[in-house]
Amino acid sequence: MEDDRFPGWHGTTILAVKRDGKVVVAGDGQVSVGQTVMKGTARKVRRLSPGGRDVVVGFAGSTADAFTLLERLEKKLEAAPGQLQRACVELAKDWRTDKYLRNLEAMLIVTDGTQIYVVTGAGDVLEPEHDVAAIGSGGNFALAAARGLLETDLGPEEVARKAMAIASDICVYTNGKLTVEILEA
């Protein structure tokens, strides 16, 4: 069932791959409204530097909602420097319980180069089991491809790029114009 508040909005694909002491976060650039591609070069992966420590966040869903969440996450990280899990849990709690935030339509992948978390408005803060996480309309395709590619000797960036290429070949709401950020542990 489609949400009337977001008619025809379809997401994106964000993928995080952890390997060899690095975390690579890749996101496609397509923004679609219904069956129309509105933009092909959106930047849905961002680097934040609260307190001097880099954190990379990828988002799927409404851009305005995601930016609201990014601002809140940055404040949580400033309040708890070096404690990514705590900041993510606090954000998820606020997101689920705050009357305004609870209506936000987005999902986040957050990493500091050591840990990866998927944060949702349902109050979830999930840490992937297989050092790979994906969200968005093409997320399951990218996730499956990345898990298969982790069986090879490819480096984390190559795994992420190849998995995103596979997702963009399958998901009509995902393109091959990537933003890629890399953090080392």
The answer to whether residue 99 scores a pLDDT higher than 80 is: yes
Which pLDDT does position 10 carry in this prediction? 54
Q: Is 158 within 8 Å of 15 (Cβ atoms)?
A: no
pLDDT the model gives residue 100: 83
Does the structure show a pLDDT above 70 at 4?
A: no
pLDDT at 7 over 70: no
* CA 114 to chain CA mean position, Å: 16
Is position 12 annotated as part of the catalytic site?
yes
Mean pLDDT of the chain: 91
Distance separating alpha carbons of residues 12 and 43, to the nearest angstrom: 11
Percent of the chain at pLDDT exceeding 70:
94
**Predicted pLDDT of residue 158:** 98
Question: Can you tell me the distance from the alpha carbon of 110 to that of 112, in angstroms, rounded to the nearest whole number?
Answer: 7
DSSP states along 17-86: EEETTEEEEEE---EEETTEEEES----EEEE-GGG--EEEEEEE-HHHHHHHHHHHHHHHHHSTT-HHH
Of the candidates 12, 13, 68, 179, the residue annotated as catalytic is 12
For the chain, which residues make up each domain, given as ranges?
9-184
**For residue 167, which of 149, 135, 142 has the smallest C-alpha distance?**
142
Please tell me the class of the 9-184 domain: alpha beta
State pLDDT tens for residues 23-69: 999 999 998 888 889 899 999 999 998 877 899 999 998 888 889 99
Taking the CB of residue 123, how many other CB atoms lie within 10 A of it? 14
Residue 153 has pLDDT above 80, yes or no: yes
- Roughly what angle, to the nearest 10 degrees, separates helices 63-79 and 84-97? 130
Rounded to whole angstroms, the Cα distance separating 92 from 145 reads 28
168 marked among binding-site residues:
yes
Q: Is 174 annotated as a binding residue?
A: yes
In the chain, the amino acid numbered 54 is D
Which amino acid type is present at position 179? T
Amino acid identity of residue 148, one-letter, is G
